[in-house]
Structure 1
């Protein structure tokens, strides 16, 4: 994914996106978000769209943004 700077940037961006979606998750949920190498080149909108799609699959369509 790149050097430490790139990894930390992606980590901060994903953390921000997940924080906004925490209320949509069932209480007590534990979710691990793993960034693939393409995440470093993705813009914020693409990361958000991919995260929402993954959460929809995980929750059976319960997350709508």
Structure 2
């Protein structure tokens, strides 16, 4: 579980990250990220019913939270991140796709700054 200060909660926060940040897509997920002026970095997750039943969706969310918590605190710049799971997230290489998308998003944010 991410601590409360590290979670995106309001729909306006999700909307600003998705519309204003960089987007990096992979087969199992899409990472939306936007740079911030000050810490803490925050994360939010979108896992729709297209991913599977409630058990599958919750499993995917737990896996994503675990991966994001590991990299959020070590990010070189403060960021807000929204990770959107795609239907293949239930069975695909979620960890590999996330690591690849995260590095690409950070690179794009660094180039944009």
RMSD: 1.4
Number of residue equivalences: 57
Q: Deviations over 1:13-61 (max 9, x none)?
A: 110011111123222x10000100000012xxx2121111111111118
Query: Aligned partners of 2:74, 2:100: CA distance in 1, in Å?
Result: 13
Give me the TM-score of the superposition, normalised by structure 2: 0.47
**Which runs of 5 or more residues in structure 1 are unaligned?**
none
- Could you say which structure has the higher helix fraction? 1
Residue 54 (structure 1) aligned with residue 101 (structure 2): yes
* Displaced runs of 4 or more, over 4 A: none
Residue 13 (structure 1) aligned with residue 63 (structure 2): yes
Rg larger in structure:
2
**Which runs of 5 or more residues in structure 2 are unaligned?**
1-50, 109-113
Give me the TM-score of the superposition, normalised by structure 1: 0.77
- Could you say which structure has the higher strand fraction? 2
